[in-house]
Chain A
């Protein structure tokens, strides 16, 4: 049960939102879909006096900006699944969204940006957005700021968000060819290891998610089995341990997940 008396805010402009967040800094959280935030408040894991709902800001568009694609902070998994633009320009995102569990109850309101901001290592989005070279667009009391996703993600459940800031959108590269692989124990399990494989001209990269506290982008010089295994093994230095799997398990399967993502990139998704 939420133990504190909460004040709910629904600002209409980015500046109002930033002002509220700055004013109550330390006692306030951004509310997107609420699928992480509210259960955590119920369990007494976070203790707040204010929530700032972003619904009034109209941040739910998926649109082209130059060569890139921008997703507003309130874009849900269902939005990503329904988007013709993503299907064509960034198929990795709907591919990932398809494998997110929780059913319609979750996918209809949980946001991609919320997942990024939660920055829990054992999830899909941080790795996928890192693979796409995402840029995080923040808005704060001093106006907008941009931050590459790899710098935004500081560590497990830790992001570079300054007082008063919220994420307004992420922009990603258009990447027509990609492959994805996720290994988890059972349907209900958090992802244990994910890999996004991306081909950009001649360059081949695999980005591992859930394997370490932060996503790991690995350049694959040569897609042969042993070369991939070696590149991954060399890159994984501090595998993540949680209730579901110890770090050594993640380290063991990381090359497998990488190879399978590369296979999907080459052969297309089967599922």
Chain B
């Protein structure tokens, strides 16, 4: 089977200018980072526990839903008998898969696999004739209390005929494996190839070759707040869904389609989010299901995901089989990696598509002319994936960084030096690879800063001294290139977004934007940008997100694009309003419009500062006298803009190269660990990192993202895993089993920043949010292996839990 990841040409974005427009006269320099940022909006509410989340929504007459899930990894459903459940006095509705078929169409995919040449199939909100994973929804109950709804689940009898299941991706690829979707013939969802040059020939001719394998276990996002939906389907036909979701507008569109309701009669409100990270991309069956249940119950209905159900959603289970050829100096001559992603069962959730960036991100920050990467998504009878911060890019970081260290070890060269010899040099940008048009970068400079911050040479000395005492310290470098802001035409995963800016007569300003906040503080940054354009206090700017009744259509929150898209759109809208207001000031004060600057809450003539109006006076005058007074010709103080397309290359060039991501932040990490060689326990002792995400609007929020990304990366590298038992059920059901890092597990991080602006984005920003996850995973992977070096073993199985590390040590010799 051959597939191509390139979107059809007809879906290209119209304009692809490579340059950013000049700012209008008097506008603030967008690339200037003064280090000042306003306090996080609602920070006080969050800190004092008064912020409201979806579970706080309780309309009058609220009822509660519980969902019956499959106990089998693979089975036919021969029948469902819900008679006894329906007879319970406190039960309002029981809905089975068969009942739901007539009430809802198949679910639209978050990301339709066929857009990128993959196989696809249809899914319903409840399984009808077959279940393919433990936890797949089979029936739902609405009752007057959650306890009653859960209790009623025991009274639904499902007649299952178990089928053979397959949990391992390699086994799923065997010819005799049980096939999940019979019409496909096998379990391969697709194939994403990324290649340039002739890797096989270069590897064959290389003086040195390493072949190895890296395995990453199934991991999970673990948001503090699980998913949840509250639906209220009013008798008049209007439907409101409060949802902890990252994509309120696409969710509304999909609800309209699935439920057959005019889109404008559906309102989705994305409630404040207690963690998203991709877990709350839309596409879940529970979204339309809870709406249907509300209609059937004739009452508002709430469903909140339990922690156990939350832990069903997977990510990151990959195997890399790589081969690298290199010369005496450690310069890589050819590279191949065959990546297999165990995506669990396919679902309308979009997580399977993480297998695309997993391959696309190669060869990362390195100039490798000849490489051949294949990423193969494989379905199994585990629960499906949804997005997980890093989105597959962390896979490339781990594999590439491990390869750099293996090359260094082989040649006896310092691992930092091997990286310097392979980096893309600063003068080579913009730089093309098979599927990326890299914007800008000073990679070696960032690495050198990270080494200095870590005191790299001193670390090596401490390592040697410790070893003399029988202690195994390990120093690990991780360098991560993080493609951000992806645009996938044909889906609702788009690279642009929309903002409306409205100036009220009082001088208050509203921003309504299509990007949502997962809790990162982007609403504060957007307010800051708009306030800066108008020269007014940030408190005067309100930001509304996530309510489809009031906000312009937008795609929500993913791939670290909020500021580059929604923020830039708001700046463009504010600039247009500023021009209108400057024109009005010009008419009212009889001065040249270009002469006005907006500062300190006023519109002031630069040449004659006594000629001025306050911002509020000007706004009010435009409303009161627009179209009546001479020169006040444009009284509309509301503008909606999208940000410009920037650095997207959807149409392959003459060499077949394309680029679906516009910006490429990166980060350099150095970790110091101690490996307890008797128990395999790894302690993280020190951590330093440099990030470069171009221009920074809010340094505190960027640092916050990096802190979180590093913590998440360390957790993924060392502890986080959802194993499956022999019966095909996930074995980690609580946070005593799924081990995310806690404060005592982490050292305090030393962070510094480098700023290489993107020449392609309005703000010069590159996206900050995911960057750091992969770098941390790679740094820890290398640090642990560095600690194991004196023992002559490698550990290439992530997470590097104590049993994994001790296994490697006990296995002795052969890594």
**B718-743 interface bits toward A, Cβ cutoff 8 Å, 1 = contact, 0 = none:** 11000100000001111111011111
> A187-B745, A188-B735, A190-B736 are contacts. A44–B150 as well, Cβ < 8 Å?
yes
Contact B803 A246 (CB under 8 A): yes
Shortest distance from the beta carbon of B189 to any chain A beta carbon, whole Å: 28
B520 at the interface (CB under 8 A from A): no
Smallest CB separation, A124 vs chain B (Å): 13
Total interface residues on B, CB under 8 Å, equals 35
Say whether A244 contacts B150, CB under 8 Å: no
Whole-angstrom distance between the alpha carbons of A4 and B90 in the complex?
A: 13
| CB closest chain-A residue, reference B718 | A186
Mask: chain A, 33-51; 1 = CB below 8 Å from B; 0 = not = 0000001000110000000
Contact of B183 with A by CB under 8 A: no
Determine which of B678, B737, B802, B810 lies in contact with A192 in the assembled complex, contact meaning CB atoms within 8 Å: B802
A190, A249, A256 interface centre (most CB from chain B within 10 Å): A249
Check if A1 sits within 8 Å of B146, measured CB to CB. yes
Minimum CB–CB distance for A222 against chain B, Å: 20
A-B contacts, 30 of them at CB < 8 A, read A3-B148, A4-B151, A39-B734, A43-B308, A43-B733, A44-B150, A183-B679, A183-B681, A185-B681, A185-B719, A185-B739, A185-B801, A186-B739, A187-B744, A187-B745, A188-B735, A188-B739, A188-B740, A188-B742, A189-B739, A190-B736, A243-B737, A244-B737, A245-B803, A249-B680, A249-B802, A252-B806, A253-B680, A253-B802, A256-B679
Q: Please state if B801 and A188 are interface contacts (CB–CB under 8 Å).
A: no
The tally of CB-CB contacts under 8 A between chains A and B is: 72
**Do A249 and B806 touch (CB < 8 A)?**
yes
Other A-B pairs beyond A185-B681, A252-B810, A253-B806, 10, CB < 8 Å: A3-B150, A3-B151, A44-B150, A101-B742, A185-B802, A186-B742, A188-B740, A244-B801, A249-B803, A253-B678
Q: List A contacts of B731 (CB < 8 A).
A: 243
A-contact 0/1 string along B145-161, CB 8 Å cutoff: 11110110000000000
A-side contacts of B146, CB under 8 Å: 1
- Cβ contact within 8 Å between A183 and B150: no
Which residues of B have CB within 8 Å of A243? Answer: 723, 731-732, 737
Q: Bound complex: CA of A252 vs CA of B735, how far in Å?
A: 25
Chain B, residue nearest A102 (CB): B736
- Does A2 have its Cβ within 8 Å of any Cβ on chain B? yes
Bound form: Cα–Cα A101–B741 in Å: 13
CB nearest to B148 among chain A residues? A3
Q: Which 9 A-B pairs have the closest CB atoms?
A: A3-B151, A249-B803, A187-B742, A1-B146, A256-B678, A243-B731, A1-B147, A243-B737, A186-B739
For the side of the interface on A, what is the size category? 20 to 34
Looking at the assembled complex, report how far the CB atom of A54 sits from the nearest CB atom of chain B, in whole angstroms: 25
Distance, CA A39 to CA B678, complexed state (A): 35
Whole-angstrom CA separation of A185 from B680 in the bound complex:
9
Which of B732, B733, B802 touches A183 (beta carbons < 8 Å)? B802
> Which residues of B135-192 are within 8 A (CB) of A?
145-148, 150-151
Whole-angstrom distance between the Cβ of B567 and the nearest chain A Cβ: 36
Chain A nearest CB: distance from B152 CB in Å?
A: 9
Q: Which of A44, A185, A249 has the most CB of B within 10 A?
A: A185
Interfacial chain B residues near A188, Cβ < 8 Å = 735-736, 739-740, 742
Which chain B residues border A253 with CB–CB below 8 Å?
Answer: 678-680, 802, 806
Q: Which of B769-815 touch A at CB < 8 Å?
A: 801-803, 806-807, 810
A1-29 toward B: CB 8 Å interface, digit per residue (1/0)? Answer: 11110000000000000000000000000
Q: Which residues of A contact B680 (CB under 8 A)?
A: 249, 253
List A contacts of B810 (CB < 8 A): 252
User: Across the interface, which residues of B come within 8 angstroms of A256, CB to CB?
Assistant: 678-679
A170-188 CB contacts (< 8 Å) to partner B: 183, 185-188
